[in-house]
Amino acid sequence: MSIIKMTPEEQSAKFEEVLSKFRGQGQKALMATLQQSQEIYGYLPLPVQRKVAEALDVSVAEVYGVVSFYSFFSLKPKGEYAFNVCLGTACYVKGSQALLDKIEASLGIKQGDVTEDTKFSISACRCVGACGLAPVVLVNDDVYGRLTPDEIPGIIAKYKEEA
């Protein structure tokens, strides 16, 4: 999912459009509302969750339950280049923990954190559905499979050059 680049004012206006589109539709519109809200903000902070709950006439607890259950929703801001390491069984057995350790060491941050310049973040998930490519790391929408820790610095360097 890509984040739409806009000013805070544009974000607020776009968010209000999303809320207006789904207002009063309840739980059936929750996933779509959250997905579109995350596209706007890049993550789903509590104030956004509260406004979604209010607009859809559902509880904040219900919204938070959905946001915290699905790995594609984020409670924290992500970097421009979001590294997501699969720790599902196939990836873990083939060394994904070593990949995660190398990414953390290379970027100087831990899983769940964002670099000071907001260029990079690291997260982990249980499965990305690419078990045949294990171990797998996603960087935004780019998939890297059959990786070794020695390949991580080159991948990071690629995104540092783009930045």
In three-state secondary structure terms, 128 is coil
User: What is the tally of structural domains in the chain?
Assistant: 2
- pLDDT for 2: 52
CATH classification of the domain holding 28: 1.10.10
Count of CA atoms in the C-beta half-sphere (13 A) of 80? 11
Residue 77 has pLDDT above 60, yes or no: yes
Q: Which domain holds residue 154?
A: 81-162
Q: What is the maximum span of the chain, computed from C-alpha positions, in angstroms?
A: 51
Residue 13 lies in a domain: yes
65 lies in the same domain as 21: yes
Residue 137 has pLDDT above 70, yes or no: yes
Q: Tell me which DSSP letter residue 75 carries.
A: S
Query: Which alpha helices (H) appear in 23-93, and where do they start and end?
Result: 30-41, 46-56, 60-69, 89-93
Residue 34 has pLDDT above 90, yes or no: yes
Rounded CA separation 123/84 (Å): 5
Residue 76 lies in a domain: no
CATH classification of the domain holding 94: 3.40.30.10
Residue 104 lies in a domain: yes
Residues 79-132: tens digit of each pLDDT: 999 999 999 999 999 999 999 999 999 999 999 999 999 999 999 998 999 999
Residue 33 lies in a domain: yes
- pLDDT for 1: 47
The pTM assigned to this predicted structure is 0.74
Residue closest to 147 by CA, chosen among 93, 92, 95: 95
